[in-house]
């Protein structure tokens, strides 16, 4: 595991983790040192904690409660995984969301509301955004509390073959998310009927195939918006949206700001996300 510290201040530490573990590596017990939100940028891995298990793919978030043990496994993917981890102090975690049980949900599925912010954080880590990593961490934490308050992650009680099928299907959807993809297309790749595939995928990963497809497109769009090289219309079509207005609506619903506002925020306009943080605080 390669770990690089990107930001280290009293209230938050941001780490870049690059794991090369594969199916032949023996899992071992680890412990969360802080309250944390680790955004999965690439790859996949399994997590077991407090009697529950989760399968994480690109866009998922590993949620850590300080002091809790967990075990990561890499049964599905030989190329490892990459995570951007925002680790909060106890004081900050309590200030953002005093309901301690929310930090014990284990993981969050790949939801648009969180992945667009994860990509903004990656843009900042790569030097493609003028927004501070600690600022993005605060925003992501507030958004997590907002989303997790109305949604509980469920354990994936399934056999190994089912978990593998779901993860491999997610890889396929993400790779071809720029193309028109329907439920039958993804089910065919998994070798299942659409009905059984929908149930399996949703049970394992916590979102439907279509929800994962939309968040994948929005995640890629957030990455391109942070680069500030392509026109917003071109980005919409490039990532797979067939209609500009649908892209703008979907992105605004996920990020809380328009694609244009997100681009401005990525370039240093802190007022845009500050207004969003204020709105969350007042809700």
- The DSSP result for 210-256, as a single string, is HHHHHHHHHHHHHHHHHHT-S-HHHHHHHHT-S-HHHHHHHHHHHHS
Q: Where are the beta strands (DSSP E) in 1-68?
A: 2-8, 12-19, 29-31, 35-43, 45-49, 52-56, 61-64
Tracing tokens 């501070």 back to the chain, one arrives at 132
| Cα 81 to Cα 1: distance, rounded to the nearest angstrom | 10
Helices 244-255, 232-239: inter-axial angle, 10-degree rounding:
90
What does the pLDDT profile of the chain (283 residues) look like in tens digits? Answer: 899 999 998 889 999 999 988 888 888 999 999 999 999 999 999 999 999 999 999 999 999 999 999 999 988 655 689 999 999 999 999 988 878 889 999 999 999 999 999 999 999 898 888 778 887 998 899 899 999 988 655 555 568 889 999 999 999 999 999 999 999 999 999 999 999 999 899 999 999 899 999 999 999 999 999 987 899 999 999 999 999 999 999 999 998 899 999 999 888 876 776 766 665 555 5
Tokens of 183: 């439920």
Q: How far apart are CA 211 and CA 58, in angstroms?
A: 13
Is the separation of the CB atoms in 58 and 113 below 8 Å? Answer: no
* pLDDT for residue 29: 95
pLDDT at 283: 52
Q: Find out whether 15 and 134 touch, Cβ atoms under 8 Å.
A: no
Number of CB atoms found within 10 A of residue 204's CB: 25
End-to-end CA distance of the chain: 39
pTM of the model: 0.83
What gap in Å lies between CA 253 and CA 116, rounded to an integer? 11
Using the structure block, give the residue that is written with the tokens 């983790």: 17
Residue 215's pLDDT is 95
Burial state string for 4-33 with b = 16 or more CB within 10 A and e = fewer than 16: eebbeeeebbbbbbebebeeeeebeeeebe
pLDDT at 121: 94
Contacts of 98 (CB under 8 A, 6+ apart): none
């Amino acid at each position: 595991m390669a770990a690089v510290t990107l930001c280290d201040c009293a209230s938050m530490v941001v780490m870049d983790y690059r794991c090369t573990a594969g199916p032949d590596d023996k899992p071992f017990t680890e412990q969360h040192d802080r309250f944390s939100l680790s955004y999965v940028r690439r790859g996949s891995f399994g997590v077991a904690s407090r009697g529950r298990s989760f399968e994480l793919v690109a866009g998922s978030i590993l949620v850590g409660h300080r002091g809790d043990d967990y075990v990561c496994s890499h049964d599905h993917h030989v190329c490892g995984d990459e995570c951007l981890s925002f680790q909060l102090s106890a004081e900050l975690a309590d200030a953002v969301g005093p309901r301690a049980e929310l930090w014990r949900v284990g993981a969050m599925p790949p939801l648009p509301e969180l992945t667009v912010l994860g990509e903004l954080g990656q843009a900042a880590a790569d030097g493609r955004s003028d927004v501070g990593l600690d600022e993005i961490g605060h925003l992501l934490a507030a958004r997590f509390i907002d989303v997790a308050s109305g949604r509980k992650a469920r354990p994936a009680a399934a056999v190994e073959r089912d978990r593998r099928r779901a993860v491999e299907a997610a890889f396929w959807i993400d790779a071809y998310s720029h193309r028109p993809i329907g439920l039958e297309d993804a089910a065919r790749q998994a070798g299942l009927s659409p009905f059984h595939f929908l149930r399996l995928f949703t049970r394992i990963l916590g979102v439907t195939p279509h929800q994962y497809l939309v968040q994948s497109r929005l995640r890629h769009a957030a990455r391109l918006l942070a680069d500030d090289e392509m026109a917003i219309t071109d980005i919409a079509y490039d990532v797979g949206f067939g209609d500009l207005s649908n892209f703008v609506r979907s992105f605004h619903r996920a990020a809380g700001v328009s694609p244009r506002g997100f681009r401005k925020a990525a370039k240093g306009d802190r007022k845009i996300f500050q207004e969003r943080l204020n709105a969350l605080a007042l809700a």
